[in-house]
Amino acid sequence: MFEAFLLFAGGLFAGMLGGLLGIGGGIVLMPLLRFGVGLSPAHAAGTCILAVFFTTLGGSYRHYRLGHIQDGAMIPIVIAGAIATILFSLLFQRLATREHWLDLGIGIVFALVALRMIAEGIHRFPRQSRDESTHHEIKGTLFQKVTIGGLAGLLPGLLGIGTGVILVPAFNLLLDVSIKVAVACSLVCFCFNAFISSAFKFAQGFIVVDVALPICLGTLIGANLGAILNKRFASNVVRLLFGLMFAFISLKFILSSLRVSA
């Protein structure tokens, strides 16, 4: 019972962070599942991506109600992401037999996420005008959108973690939308990718259902709360603080992979 409560609390926290920053929450859930619960890298990835689906589902719904989402302009990104997720989900089963490579890949991605969050936290701290931008139209060419979508399908399919590290800056910088709209669009795109990836990993036997259920409930509630906070809260300080924390977590994954391979 106590473990279920901790899993629910972890899911709640991951969902709030996901809704606030436009990430799937896997950066919180993966170390919880891997080092807190003690799941293998493959089962942690499968269970994580299912929970992340509920994070993105709850966050997407709330952002849709807030008017941050454009349906038509996102279709090429969603389709390209879905195709890429299918391809990399098929590759995941082979990678699952090399667990130290999974830990190493996740550690590297987490390190990149940490660097980005630290850089954005420092860069955006003096000025908040960009966060309050009213740029809602998703611009960019079809090639740009398909490329962004394809890259966004890599991480959920291959590692079971989110794509906010790719999608949020891509929407914001390449497709010229505001941070709040970029967060919303990132969650919607990743929602489709996470659903496909979790379906594959369930069929492959890499989801621990009794662990996933309390986490999924927490993420679904937390994502809605995070999306509400996104409308009212300057997220740069959160990015800086959690960037520093995730830098430590990425090092833990990398050291774990090196110990296994040794």
pLDDT at 127: 43
Cα distance between residue 115 and residue 94, in whole Å = 29
Q: CA dist 187 to 28, 51, 253, Å?
A: 16, 13, 25
- Total count of residues recorded for the chain: 262
Please state the domain count of the chain.
1
210: containing domain: 2-261
The secondary structure of 133-144, three-state, reads CCCCCCCCCHHH
Answering whether pTM is above 0.85, one says no
pLDDT at 208: 93
The secondary structure of the chain, three-state, reads CHHHHHHHHHHHHHHHHHHHHCCCCHHHHHHHHHHHHCCCHHHHHHHHHHHHHHHHHHHHHHHHHCCCCCCHHHHHHHHHHHHHHHHHHHHHHHHCCCHHHHHHHHHHHHHHHHHHHHHHHHHHCCCCCCCCCCCCCCCCCHHHHHHHHHHHCHHHHHCCCCCHHHHHHHHHHHCCCCHHHHHHHHHHHHHHHHHHHHHHHHHCCCCCHHHHHHHHHHHHHHHHHHHHHHHHCCCHHHHHHHHHHHHHHHHHHHHHHHHHHC
- Tens place of pLDDT per residue across the chain (262 aa): 778 888 999 889 887 876 666 666 777 788 889 888 889 989 999 999 998 888 778 777 777 777 777 667 788 888 999 999 999 999 888 888 777 778 888 788 778 777 776 776 676 544 444 444 445 667 778 888 888 888 888 888 888 877 666 677 777 777 777 777 777 788 788 889 999 999 999 999 999 999 999 998 888 888 778 767 766 655 566 666 667 766 777 787 788 777 755 5
pLDDT digits 0-9 by tens, 80-124:
999 999 999 998 888 887 777 788 887 887 787 777 767 766 765
**Which residue in 27, 11, 18 sits closest to 184, CA to CA?**
18
